Amino acid sequence: MKQTAALICCLLTVSNSFAQTRSPAITYGAGRWGSYLPGDVSQPDFQDSTRIQDLIKAGQLYLSLQDAIALALENNLDLEIQRYGVRMTSTDVLRASGGGFLRGIPLTVTEAPAGVGGPGSSLNNSAASGTIPQTQVPVNVTDTALIQQAQNNLSVTGAFPFLNGPAIPQFDPTFTAQTQLQHVEVPQANLVTTGTSEFTSNLFSGNFGYSQGFGPGTQVTATFQNLRTANNSTRSLLNPFVTSSLGVSISQPLLRGHGSDLNRRFIRIARNTGKISDFVFQQQIISTVSGVIRLYTDLVSLNEDLRVKRQTLATAERLAQDNGSKVEQGTLAPIELTRAQAQVAAARQDLINAEGFLRQQELILKNTLSRNGNADPLVHSARVIPTDTITVEAPPLQTAEEFIRMALDSRPEFQAAKLQIANSEISLKGSRNGLMPQLDITGSATNNSLAGAANSIYVGAIPPLGSVPGYGDGYVTALGQVVRAKNPALTVGINLSLPIHNRIAQADVVRDQLQVRQSQVRIRQIENQIRLEVEDALIALERTRSAYLAAAETRKLQEQSLEIEQERFAAGLSTNFLVIQYENYVAQARSSEVAARGAWAKARNQLERVVGQTLTNHNVSIEEALRGKVSRTSSPAIPGTTVPGARP
């Protein structure tokens, strides 16, 4: 799992690697002013990979299971959506590195549509079974649940976010600059202050600042302020005059907001969230691949069941034809021909249903494997021909406990849940720090200056007109005073803010603790669910394998019984009624065998999923899934053959 997360993180940091992939690419502004230029995200690519066109021959889409998986990795839109989610995590890391709050990422995984199911599904139970010719008319073939996709939220921390906690220092430095021209005319009520009844002033200011926060919570601010003033006051010694000051102030929290571990918590959470996103993407791959395997398995079963229905119809038509000849010869009662014709009608109805189910399943599968769904005329018109068959294998050798350990180590949603718990505990530390009083130590040092020309209209006894020693008459003089620290100002202080009762912080800490404990219960619930799913899947695999073996034996015996009954009927030792009955038994046995074989394949697929081995067993590369490009070439096989390594 750690290697998987590291692999995805590595791919995200190498922007050039996306040049030949279908994964979304992010470009940030470059050059000296790149920090102030908007980044750009590549437009979605809605063109299907060329693989799907390569697999279409003469209007037929010859599809092996491995090719179906490859098409899903390249074209499935659920995976494409998740690729954007993976890329979002890098923006949260960048944002947290600058001292910003996190925006979060989606943790939703979309399942593949259910499809119409196999021959043994609720839509298609049996074919012309019983002693009376009958068929089943499906009533829910337009149920939208067959094509809709369920969504699973992998979040274990609840719908309400944790408290942000004490403010984070702004790690990105900020430079400020301000310049201003001002002309002021103010009437005066007395002459004492300015020496004039209408005070006029012209000001020009230029101020600069720099501020930056640091991990321990330290906030440093530097200012450089300049002001030139000219007025008509007769009370000012200097006119015009210039003032400049250069100052540095530092603030350091001692309780609330103190410590690098605390103030960098969002960076750690963002990095953990990046790993969580990797696991969510891996879970989406598993959900998509597992869903494609299920849809493909049902398609194989529906194709096999269609052949069974055709055989059943052909057998019923032969019997009706034979009975018609015998009725014409007068050796068989007309009622027997009517019964045989009813059997033909029932078998034909079953065939129509089977063909409809098959076409529905093809549409659903093609939509899952294509970016444009069935909007592409070439894809829409192509009939899907599965080239793999289902072969029931021996039961696995591992014990249930071994499978459970494998699942707990491999299931990405379980690993994501543990990282969410880790993030919630980091957030809780921030909430606990918020209980502390605000106690900051502050300090500042400022060098001040003043320079200007003697006021030619000065009215006063001291100093004499034209004599203001030490202050010169220009800006250079003022800067010299700043550099020499001629007029320093030093400040040291302590700021204390002590909330009485502190009820808000107390409530927030307890609330966050409750959410953490709730998440811990949830992860134990997930662990128990994983154990249950593994054991349930093992039981299902064993049950479906036994059911298949029994169904295969039943089909064999029913075919033998039909042959015997047909021989007895030809010899005049049986009745038309019994022959029809045994034909129904054979048809039902064949359909049951097909359904049982498909049920076993889906049970095995479910076992692979619950133990977290879907990707390993089907040679799926997470790197290729992230890039949306599968390196393996397609080679359409002959329909009805089992491709080496294929596991439908």
Mean pLDDT of 485-500: 94
What per-residue confidence (pLDDT) applies to 120?
63
What per-residue confidence (pLDDT) applies to 162?
86
Burial of 73 (0-12, 13-18, 19+ CB in 10 A): buried
2 residue type, one letter: K
CB of 57 closer than 8 Å to CB of 636: yes
What are the extents of the domains in the chain?
2-164+263-327+357-429+510-627, 174-213+218-256+438-497
Per the prediction, the chain carries an average pLDDT of 87
What per-residue confidence (pLDDT) applies to 142?
54
408-434 pLDDT per residue, tens? 999 999 999 999 999 999 999 999 999
Residue 516 pLDDT > 60? yes
Tokens of 376: 């592409």
Mean pLDDT of 18-44: 80
**Whole-number Å distance between alpha carbons of 312 and 347:** 6
CB of 253 closer than 8 Å to CB of 217: yes
Mean pLDDT of 373-390: 92
Residue 139 pLDDT > 60? no
302-343 pLDDT per residue, tens? 999 999 999 989 988 988 998 898 888 888 889 989 988 998
**Whole-number Å distance between alpha carbons of 519 and 540:** 31
What per-residue confidence (pLDDT) applies to 138?
53
Among the residues of 469-502, which ranges form H helices?
475-483
96-128 pLDDT per residue, tens? 999 999 998 899 999 999 898 888 644 344 444
Q: Which run of H or E residues covers position 241?
A: strand 238-253
Residue 12 pLDDT > 80? no
Mean pLDDT of 380-393: 93
Question: Which pLDDT band, with edges at 50, 70 and 90, does 20 fall under?
Answer: low
User: Contacts by 32-40 with C-beta closer than 8 Å and gap 24+?
Assistant: none
CB of 512 closer than 8 Å to CB of 163: yes
Residue 573 pLDDT > 90? no
Tokens of 609: 């999923």
| Secondary structure class of 114 (helix, strand, coil) | coil
What per-residue confidence (pLDDT) applies to 636?
57
Query: In CATH, which of 3.20.20.70, 2.30.33.40, 1.20.1600.10, 1.10.10.10 is domain 2-164+263-327+357-429+510-627?
Result: 1.20.1600.10
Mean pLDDT of 200-218: 95
Backbone angle region of 352, left / alpha / beta, with phi > 0 → left and psi within -120 to 50 → alpha: alpha
260-295 pLDDT per residue, tens? 999 999 999 999 999 999 999 999 999 999 999 999
Burial of 39 (0-12, 13-18, 19+ CB in 10 A): exposed
Residue 643 pLDDT > 50? no
What per-residue confidence (pLDDT) applies to 470?
60
What per-residue confidence (pLDDT) applies to 205?
95
Residue 236 pLDDT > 70? yes
What per-residue confidence (pLDDT) applies to 575?
82
What per-residue confidence (pLDDT) applies to 143?
63
What per-residue confidence (pLDDT) applies to 411?
96
Q: In what order do the strands lie in the sheet with 56-57?
A: 56-57, 60-63, 383-386
